[in-house]
């Protein structure tokens, strides 16, 4: 993968929780994105920190760096940013802000297995980057995840944290059990040899979608400096009504796209503080991920696109 200091763990959510613990972030505010899977927020809350939501860029759907500094307070400890759908954040801008304010940076790269930025694995950025190997991902270990730590001392700390905090009979610190199983490892080794073929096939299917839809929908904008992994095919409709109409028509022919991500996380009912994020809230109401997997046939893609265009 082109990274150092790699840990294989039980799942991506635990990877986020371990990241916060390893960086000694157990209280205070964490700036994050409202446009992600709920696990990004869950990990922050579970570690007794307060998520502070910063709205997203309308084109990339990633956290908008131009809005981050206005959200920083004396309580801010870190930035947890997400490479949404595997499309990297503006990592240069986020790094500058973090350095200026002495903040840690954790990247939730759950979708970004195999993605490179300027020729380097996207997992090399931030103090820690995490990835998910859940069964829905293009590379999976049934359930699993990983952490990549920039600092070797942090890497060693994670090693203790993930296996009860002890080394042999010497108990060094508080830890939990985040070790992945041998069965997960076996599945990962079985899948690993197919990754290049999987990404190539997903690229071919993505190009078919692009061809058949022919500009009839809006897609998030990616960077030309990125080698993408074609993990998802998100489309944005003009309004919620059109999205719901398309979902109903597709469901009626046994095709099941996913409203991913919905709701915008700043609207979760159990949050004590509700930040306003109008861009994320709007996109969450209008975005749909279409089926994309190895084995998806051309006829089905054409059918999906015909329903959408009609």
Alpha carbons 104 and 29: distance in angstroms, whole number: 12
- pLDDT given at position 216: 86
**Mean pLDDT for the chain overall:** 96
- C-alpha pair distances (Å), 41 with each of 44, 45, 234, 260, 278: 5, 6, 21, 15, 18
- pLDDT given at position 1: 85
In 218-289, DSSP assigns E strands to 226-227, 234-236, 287-289
Portion of the chain with pLDDT greater than 70, in percent: 100
Mean pLDDT of the 36-59 span: 98
Residue 225: pLDDT above 90?
no
Alpha carbons 116 and 88: distance in angstroms, whole number: 9
Residue 11: pLDDT above 90?
yes
Confidence of residue 70 (pLDDT cuts 50, 70, 90): very high
- pLDDT given at position 217: 87
198-218 confidence digits (pLDDT tens): 999 999 999 999 999 988 889
Q: Which domains does the chain have, with CATH numbers?
A: 6-189 (3.40.640.10), 196-309 (3.90.1150.10)
Is the four-CA dihedral 5, 11, 15, 21 of positive or negative sign? Answer: negative
- pLDDT given at position 215: 81
Confidence of residue 235 (pLDDT cuts 50, 70, 90): very high
Residue 190: pLDDT above 90?
yes
254-301 confidence digits (pLDDT tens): 999 999 999 999 999 999 988 999 999 999 999 999 999 999 999 999
Q: Which of 3, 16, 18 is nearest to 162 (CA)?
A: 18
Tell me what percent of the chain is helix, strand and coil, each rounded to the nearest 5: 40, 20, 45
Mean pLDDT of the 70-77 span: 98
90-138 confidence digits (pLDDT tens): 999 999 999 999 999 999 999 999 999 999 999 999 999 999 999 999 9
């Amino acid at each position: 993968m082109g990274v150092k200091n790699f840990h294989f763990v039980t799942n991506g959510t635990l990877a986020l929780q371990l990241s916060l613990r390893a960086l000694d972030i157990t209280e205070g505010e964490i700036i994050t994105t409202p446009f992600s899977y709920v696990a990004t927020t869950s990990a922050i809350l579970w570690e007794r920190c307060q998520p502070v939501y910063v709205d997203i860029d309308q084109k990339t759907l990633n956290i908008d760096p131009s809005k981050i500094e206005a959200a920083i307070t004396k309580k801010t400890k870190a930035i947890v940013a997400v490479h949404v759908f595997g499309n990297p954040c503006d990592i240069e801008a986020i790094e500058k802000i973090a350095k200026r304010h002495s903040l840690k940076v954790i990247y939730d790269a759950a979708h970004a297995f195999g993605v490179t930025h300027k020729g380097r694995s996207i997992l090399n950025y931030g103090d820690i980057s995490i990835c998910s190997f859940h069964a829905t991902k293009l590379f999976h270990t049934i359930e699993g995840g990983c952490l990549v730590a920039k600092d070797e001392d942090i890497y060693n700390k994670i090693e203790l944290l993930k296996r009860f905090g002890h080394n042999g009979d010497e108990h060094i610190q508080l830890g939990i059990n985040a070790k992945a199983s041998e069965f997960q490892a076996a599945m990962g080794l079985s899948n690993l040899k197919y990754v290049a073929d999987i990404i190539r096939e997903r690229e071919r299917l993505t190009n078919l979608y692009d061809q058949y839809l022919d500009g009839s929908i809006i897609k998030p904008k990616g960077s030309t400096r990125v080698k993408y992994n074609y993990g998802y095919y998100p489309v944005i409709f003009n309004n919620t009504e059109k999205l719901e109409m398309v979902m109903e028509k597709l469901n009626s022919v046994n095709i099941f796209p996913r409203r991913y991500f919905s709701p915008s996380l700043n609207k979760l009912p159990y949050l004590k503080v509700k930040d306003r994020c109008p861009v994320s809230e709007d996109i969450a109401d209008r975005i749909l991920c279409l089926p994309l997997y190895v084995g998806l046939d051309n006829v089905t893609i054409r059918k999906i696109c015909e329903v959408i265009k009609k």
